[in-house]
Amino acid sequence: MKDSVLIVSGGMDSITMLYEYKDRIAIGLSFDYGSNHNAREIPFARMHCERLGIRHIVINLDFMHRYFKSSLLEGPDAIPEGHYADDNMKSTVVPFRNGIMLAIATGIAESNGLRHVMMANHGGDHTIYPDCRPDFVAAFGSATAAGTYEGITVEALYTGITKADIARRGHALGIDYGETWSCYKGGVRHCGRCGTCVERREALAEAGIKDNTVYDSPLTMPYE
């Protein structure tokens, strides 16, 4: 039974969840908030939703680009290079982004008679992104349940696993990760050196999966 809305960015994690739970997902919901890479990732979200026969909605959140402070909203040159573990990657946090998206997704769910909102955060997100941490997910889920007639829940089904674990699941489902987008710089190709590119490359390597992504940088890992 289709009972869920999935926040789907077009990246590895949400596309994997889209395929893994396709029998439950009624709506794939993407957000255009003016980031460097929205124009690159949203078409992948749309393509995969169409491929699976899942309704796809794009919500414009232009106010975030105009009023929020984040290197993710300031152009590709503002994006730091390096590993996600580095402190400089904190500049890519968009304040309370997931809270805003989850609130809208909850409204979409209730308006369409659905019971759950899915998000594809994973264990590696917790250090850098406060609104990906388990305590945030639990608190927000309590708020959605209390604030809706149907008691809508938030399901963050990858919270306890790694990106490599997700990659293994997606590989088993037949997903070509070359048809997803990660790079925060949002160029013609993945840069290969920003935090999301490094994380992507490490996850696929750890999972033993051939990386079909085209990178600007050499194929050797830049931050080993």
CATH number, domain containing residue 71? 3.40.50.620
Is 12 part of any known ligand binding site? yes
Determine whether the annotation assigns residue 18 to a binding site. yes
Residue 223 pLDDT class (50, 70, 90 cuts): very low
Known binder of ligand: residue 53?
no
Which residue range forms the structural domain that includes residue 18? Answer: 4-207
Query: Where does 108-174 show beta strands of DSSP type E?
Result: 116-118, 153-155
Residue 11 known to bind ligand: yes
Annotated ligand binding at 77? The verdict is no
Question: Is 217 among the domain residues?
Answer: no
The DSSP output letter for 80 is P
Which sign, positive or negative, has the C-alpha torsion 69, 74, 80, 85? positive
According to the annotation, is 132 in a ligand binding site?
Answer: no
Question: Among 50-64, 148-162, 209-223, whose mean pLDDT is lowest?
Answer: 209-223
Instruction: Please check whether residue 179 lies inside any domain of the structure.
Output: yes
Q: What percent of the chain has pLDDT over 90?
A: 83
224 pLDDT tier (thresholds 50, 70, 90): very low
Distance of CA 224 to the CA centre of its chain: 24
194 known member of a binding site: yes
pLDDT at residue 136, as a whole number:
93
The verdict on whether residue 42 carries a ligand-binding annotation is no
Q: For the segment 52-94, what is each residue's pLDDT rounded down to a tens digit?
A: 999 999 999 999 999 999 999 999 999 988 776 656 678 899 9
pLDDT band at 218 (very low <50, low <70, confident <90, very high): low
Beta strand segments in 78-134, E: 116-118
Quick check: 152 and 175 in contact, CB under 8 A?
Answer: no
Domains: count for the chain: 1
Q: Is residue 8 part of a domain?
A: yes
- Dump pLDDT digits (tens) for 170-199: 999 999 999 999 999 999 999 999 989 999
Residue 126, pLDDT > 80, answer: no
In a domain, 222, yes or no: no
Quick one: pLDDT at residue 177?
97
Segment 114-124 shows an average pLDDT of 92
Whether 93 is in a domain gets the answer yes
Its pTM stands at: 0.94
- Answer yes or no: is 213 within a domain: no
3-state helix, strand, coil in the chain (%, to 5): 45, 10, 40
- Asked if pLDDT for residue 114 goes beyond 60, the answer is yes
Question: Residue 139 domain-assigned?
Answer: yes
User: What rounded mean pLDDT belongs to the chain?
Assistant: 92
Beta pairing partners, 60: 32
Given its phi and psi angles, is residue 215 left (phi above 0), alpha (psi -120 to 50 degrees) or beta?
Answer: beta
Q: Is residue 62 part of a domain?
A: yes
